[in-house]
Structure 1
Amino acid sequence: MDAKDSGDGKQNTADMTQFVQNLLTQMQTRFQTMSDSIVSKIDEMGERISELEQSINDLRAEMGAEGTQPPPSPSKKDGSAA
């Protein structure tokens, strides 16, 4: 009986080892997929930020070209004309 119990124990240990290895492999694959997805989204966000910065700079340049004229003087039409 001891030989049979010893064989079952070794088989259970081998099965558990295989199960844990498979589980770790699956987890590693999932983490790698998530990591790749996060990096991709960060890269995409960086590109969008760059486009936004360029749009802001273009708007500033436009406003600078239009703003070469002096700004209009504030009017004194607030009822103080006596």
Structure 2
Amino acid sequence: MDGQDNENPKQSTADMTVFVQNLLQQMQTRFQAMSESIICKNILFKMGNRIDELEQSINDLRAEMGQEGSPSPSASLKAREDPKSIDDST
């Protein structure tokens, strides 16, 4: 019986080692997925900022070219919907 008792703790230790290794592998996989998600969100955020900066640069260039007073497509659409805005601008 003593031989059996000695193998149980060894088997229990081996099982615990496998369990811990599997747990660490799962944690590493989840950490990697979360890191990739954060990186993707950061890239999207930076792209959004760059688009905003590009729009601002385009508006600045239009203003420098003297097109500031020209109606934008959305303004002309509003003018069609609301005839009063045409009378106000003249």
TM-score (norm 2): 0.68
Aligned-pair CA distance for 1:46 = 1.2
The match for 1:24 is: 24
Q: Which has the higher contact order (CA 8 A, sep 6+)?
A: 2
Q: Which amino acid aligns with 2:38?
A: I
Name stretches of at least 5 consecutive residues in structure 2 with no aligned partner: 68-90
Question: d(CA) in 1 for partners of 2:6 and 2:19?
Answer: 20
Higher alpha-carbon Rg: 1
Residue 48 (1) aligns with residue 48 (2): yes
State the percentage of identical aligned residues.
43
Alignment-mate amino acid for residue 34 of structure 2 = M
Superposed displacement of residue 66, structure 1 = 3.2
TM-score, normalising length: structure 1: 0.75
> Residue 49 of structure 1: SS of its match in structure 2?
helix
Specify the SS of the correspondent of 1:66: coil
Q: How many residues align?
A: 68
Q: Which residue of 2 aligns with 1:61?
A: 61
1:25-63 superposed Cα distances (whole Å, 9 cap, x missing partner): 000000000011111111111111111100011111222
| Higher helix residue share | 2
RMSD of the TM alignment (CA)?
A: 1.7
Task: Give the corresponding residue for 2:12.
Answer: 12
Structure 1 position 2 matched with structure 2 position 22: no
